[in-house]
C-alpha cells in the first residue's frame, strides 16, 4: 500500500506545470486517489536557463530532460511528465516512456502582428522561431521572409512579438490550448503543407523500466492510439538520427488497427525536401516509422544529409 506521495518531476514553465497538473488529475480520477498522494517537484533544466541561443548550438533536446532524468534514475522521483516532442530518441539506461495522455491538436499556430496569415505577410517581413523545422518550412513557403531565432517560454515569445521584435511567430497550438490561449492564433497551419514535429501535441510520462508499481499506476492513463502514433513518429526520427539540429517533420494517425504516417525532411534553407508516406498495423507502429525513415533516407541520398552538419 502506497503511503508516501508519488513524486512527479517537471520543468517549471507554465506549460510544463499545466501538463503535470493534467497528468495528476487523470491519475487521481483513474485510481480514486487524493491530491496529496501526488507531489509535483519542479526542476530547472539547462534548456530553461539558456535562452539566448538555439538548441542546435547548445546541445539539442536532452537539455530539457537531463536534470529531471538524473533524479528519476536515482529514485528521487517516481516519474516525470514531459512534452513528447522534447524527448531525445535515446533515453538513459533503465528509463522508458511508460504512458501518453490523449493527444491534443498537432497543428502549428501562426500568430501574426501585421498579417493574419503566413502567406499574406509582406515581402521581407520578420518571423521569429527557435525551431529548425519551422524555420525550414517557412523558408520553403516564403523564401523572401527574414527568419530570426525566438527562444523562451510561450509568454516570452508572445511578449517579444508584442514588442515588435518580429511581425509573426509560430507556436504549437496544443500548448496554447493547454494554457487557455486558444484564441491567440491568427491562423492554424494545415499539417499537410506545414507538418508538425514528431510527437507534437502529446504529453508523455517517463518512468523507470523496473518499477512495476509505478508502471501499473501509469498504465491506467495510457492512451493506446496516442502511444502507437508517437512510437511511429519517434521511430522515424530515430532512424534519421533526428535532433534539434535537423529539420524533420512527421505525424502518424492510429485507429487502433492501422497506423498511417507522413514524414518530411528538409534542408535548413527549405530549398530541398523529401516526403514519405507509410501504412502498417498499429501493433507494429514503430516498424512503420522505421520503414518510412529508411525509405526517405535512400531517396534523399547521403549528400542531402551532409547539408545538415
- Worst-scoring range by mean pLDDT, 58-62, 73-77, 100-104, 198-202? 58-62
- Element (H or E) spanning 55, and its range? helix 55-58
256 vs 59: which has the higher pLDDT: 256
- For all residues of the chain together, what is the average pLDDT? 91
Confidence band, pLDDT 50/70/90 cuts, at residue 194: very high
Give DSSP secondary structure letters for 97-160: EEEEPPP----EEEEESS-SSGGGSPTT-EEE---HHHHHHHHHH-TTSEEE---S-HHHHHHH
Count CA within 13 A, CB hemisphere, residue 281.
2
Same fold, 1-101+202-222 and 224-309: no
- Worst-scoring range by mean pLDDT, 153-167, 177-191, 248-262? 153-167
The domain locations on the chain are 1-101+202-222, 108-188, 224-309
63 vs 296: which has the higher pLDDT: 296
Contact residues for 24 (Cβ-Cβ < 8 A; gap 6+): 8, 35, 38, 40
pLDDT, tens digit, for every residue of 17-39?
999 999 999 999 999 999 999 99
236 vs 245: which has the higher pLDDT: 236
Class of CATH domain 1-101+202-222: alpha beta
Answer yes or no: is pLDDT of 192 > 80. yes
Closest CA to 188 of 206, 205, 173: 173
What is residue 50's predicted lDDT score, i.e. its pLDDT? 55
35 vs 153: which has the higher pLDDT: 35
Answer yes or no: is pLDDT of 266 > 60. yes
Closest CA to 55 of 66, 71, 69, 43: 66
108-188 CATH, one of 3.40.50.10440, 3.10.450.230, 3.40.190.10, 2.70.70.10:
3.40.190.10
Q: What are phi and psi of 202, to 5 degrees?
A: -110, 135
What is residue 3's predicted lDDT score, i.e. its pLDDT? 76
Are 124 and 146 contacting, i.e. CB atoms less than 8 angstroms apart?
A: yes
d(CA 267, CA 20): 35
pLDDT, tens digit, for every residue of 128-141?
998 999 999 999 99
Q: Is 86 a catalytic residue?
A: yes
Contact residues for 63 (Cβ-Cβ < 8 A; gap 6+): 45, 46, 47, 50, 55
Q: What are phi and psi of 169, to 5 degrees?
A: -145, 170
Answer yes or no: is pLDDT of 242 > 60. no
% of the chain at pLDDT higher than 90 = 82
d(CA 267, CA 132): 9
Q: What is the mean pLDDT of residues 202-229?
A: 98
Confidence band, pLDDT 50/70/90 cuts, at residue 243: very low
First to last CA, the chain: 52
Class of CATH domain 224-309: alpha beta
Catalytic position from the list 48, 52, 86, 216: 86
Answer yes or no: is pLDDT of 309 > 60. no
Amino acid at each position: 500500500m502506497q503511503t508516501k506521495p508519488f513524486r512527479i518531476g517537471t520543468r517549471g514553465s507554465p506549460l510544463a506545470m499545466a501538463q503535470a497538473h493534467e497528468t495528476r488529475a487523470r491519475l487521481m480520477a483513474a485510481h480514486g486517489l487524493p491530491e496529496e498522494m501526488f507531489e509535483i517537484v519542479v526542476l530547472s533544466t539547462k534548456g530553461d536557463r539558456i535562452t539566448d541561443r538555439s538548441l542546435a548550438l547548445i546541445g539539442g533536446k536532452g537539455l530539457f530532460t537531463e536534470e529531471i532524468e538524473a533524479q528519476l534514475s536515482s529514485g528521487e522521483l517516481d516519474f516525470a511528465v514531459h512534452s513528447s516532442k522534447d524527448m531525445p530518441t535515446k533515453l538513459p539506461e533503465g528509463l522508458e516512456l511508460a504512458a501518453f495522455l490523449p493527444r491534443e491538436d498537432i497543428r502549428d499556430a501562426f500568430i501574426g502582428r501585421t498579417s493574419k496569415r503566413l502567406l499574406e505577410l509582406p515581402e521581407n517581413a520578420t518571423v521569429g522561431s527557435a525551431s529548425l523545422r519551422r524555420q525550414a518550412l517557412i523558408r520553403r513557403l516564403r523564401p523572401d521572409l527574414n527568419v530570426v531565432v525566438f527562444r523562451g517560454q510561450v509568454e516570452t515569445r508572445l511578449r517579444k512579438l508584442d514588442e515588435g521584435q518580429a511581425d509573426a511567430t509560430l507556436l504549437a497550438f496544443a500548448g496554447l490550448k493547454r494554457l487557455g490561449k486558444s484564441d491567440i492564433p491568427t491562423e492554424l497551419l494545415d499539417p499537410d503543407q506545414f507538418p508538425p514535429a514528431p510527437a507534437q501535441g502529446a504529453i508523455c510520462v517517463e518512468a523507470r523500466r523496473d518499477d512495476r508499481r509505478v508502471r501499473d499506476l501509469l498504465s491506467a492513463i495510457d492512451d493506446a492510439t496516442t502511444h502507437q502514433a508517437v512510437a511511429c513518429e519517434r521511430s522515424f526520427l530515430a532512424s534519421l538520427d533526428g535532433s534539434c539540429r535537423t529539420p524533420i517533420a512527421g505525424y502518424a494517425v492510429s485507429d487502433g488497427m492501422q497506423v498511417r504516417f507522413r514524414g518530411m525532411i528538409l534542408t535548413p534553407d527549405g530549398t530541398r525536401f523529401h516526403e514519405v508516406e507509410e501504412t502498417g498495423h498499429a501493433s507494429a507502429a514503430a516498424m512503420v516509422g522505421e520503414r518510412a525513415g529508411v525509405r526517405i533516407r535512400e531517396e534523399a541520398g547521403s549528400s542531402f544529409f551532409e547539408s545538415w552538419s
